[in-house]
Structure 1
């Protein structure tokens, strides 16, 4: 691993991870496809399907850094959410928007958490290969575009606007206002949106993408769906990273601590910039460009991998 993952390569991989984790294009799919497309030692050393690959320890650090970037960007939201959770427990109530949103996040996170513990290893080792990842990337693009088609037919749930009116909504809604609208989701709706994250265990399916599609299907605007997606992703990404942190200090992490540090710093910066961009982007824009990219990138990768 250390002979073939230089500090420059760690920097590039870390920066790419931070962006693709939050953009609806699947970080795991790209982590599988890029080494395969580059070929050579990358294809063997940077292989997530290998059970004892040091690359897995490297990815752990990147995930923790990405979650840290989300926490920093949304720190005001998390202060309100944690305060709401505390007051809910103290007074045994779920009344305020912060209390409702806190419980929505808790309950919506449980299904994917349990599924991740049970299925992550199986999915990664059996499906974490280039050809399935390319195929699922195409599926991801189709799902994103289908979400856009559904959004035009589903009445807006919380913003009070007509279906498909995201393009004309005033941009720049405050975070508190969006959080308050999200808190109007019912518990079953919130859990259903959270369950969509389970599909992201498949390499090539984007966590943020499928969560946004589920949110659009339930009547959220693009801005609301994106924000809820990022809030739901934070505890999952952080927990998944922290759960495997011991790998960094075991045999898998031997001699790559410097690369992990550089890659994690790159991942933190790129993830912070990505979420900053996307929260503004989805105030007025849609998932369609990402859908087109995923279909083209997935189909192109599939053709290249099967032809060579």
Structure 2
């Protein structure tokens, strides 16, 4: 069973940690285990036919909805670019190129998720591996920052205040100039996020930085890539919530989804401003400390 307090807390954490580069699945595994007691029994993502897993993945719909709302102008351009590309059988405009970049970059994680998600979740979706992978996530973020600084990649000038809509268009145009190979490589990094503790947004941002993107553009591309993946994962699990796994928790799912939507919207609003001038370093430190702390608690308990 899952009570309303658990649902709201988990929903709020999921919305934030899905977009912050700190792994939502890792936190979904570790928080109940560290709290212990009823939480550890109710919220076990690795249990066979786990209603908690159906609940967690169902929250993805709310998170994706928050991303769609925040980036709605971008998605209007992207969908329009896809339609015009199909209609005219071309890939010329920035919107058309960005649409196909997102499609091609999403295919590897989509296929891998269908084939490997169950294996990774049941084998590695336990607290100790999740804590170890959270530490690994922090190391990956730090290494990406270190290698990028050594490469001395130039940051683009900050956009003038009050020109948000124009800045969004300019950012999409910059992203559309990536080669399809580079975009697909960045998107393929999402496959690592099947491991509990490895962050989807973190690994795609790290890959983007290593391929020459600025922090701002790497974060933007990460969020655009995540939207269809998160939405698809949630939609695939929705039927489970209306079957035996969802019996008795529909109200909790709704409460958790509202919390997830609100926290995800605030998170993406914060992060798109944060990465104008700041880096992944603080998140790297957090992941290492949180993972090590969780590992210590789980080992000594």
Structure 1 length as normaliser, TM-score?
0.94
Cα deviation, residue 61, structure 1: 2.4
In structure 2, distance between residues paired with 1:154 and 1:101: 26
Report how far residue 9 of structure 1 moved. Answer: 2.1
1:159 aligns with none
Tell me whether 1:134 sits opposite 2:127 in the alignment.
no
Structure 2: state its 5+ residue gaps. none
Q: Distance in 1 between matches of 2:16 and 2:119?
A: 25
Q: Residue deviations 1:70-96, cap 9 Å, x none?
A: 011101100000000011111111110
Alpha-carbon spacing, 1:155–1:104, altered in 2? closer, same or farther (3 Å): farther
The equivalent position to 1:75 in structure 2, one of 72, 75, 91, is 72
1:20 to 17, 20, 37: 17
1:280 — aligned with what?
273
SS in 2 for 1:152: helix
Q: Distance in 1 between matches of 2:46 and 2:145?
A: 32
Cα distance in 2 for residues equivalent to 1:24 and 1:197: 12
Equivalent in 7, 11, 14 of residue 10 of structure 1: 7
Q: How many angstroms does 1:155 deviate by?
A: 5.5
1:248 is aligned, of 230, 241, 252, to 241
CA contact (8 A) 2:201 2:223 kept: yes
1:171: how far off? 6.3
- Does the Cα contact within 8 Å between 1:154 and 1:218 map onto a contact in 2? no
Spell out the pairing of 1:220-299 with structure 2 (5 A cutoff). 220-299=213-292
Q: CA RMSD in A?
A: 1.2
SS of 2:213's equivalent?
coil
Q: Distance in 1 between matches of 2:149 and 2:201?
A: 20
Q: Is the 8 A contact 2:58 2:237 kept in 1?
A: no
Structure 1: gaps of 5 or more residues: 157-161
SS, match of residue 244 in structure 1: helix
**d(CA) in 2 for partners of 1:240 and 1:54?**
15
Cα distance in 2 for partners of 1:170, 1:220 equals: 16
Task: Provide TM-score, normalisation by structure 2.
Answer: 0.96
Deviation at 1:45, TM superposition (A): 1.5
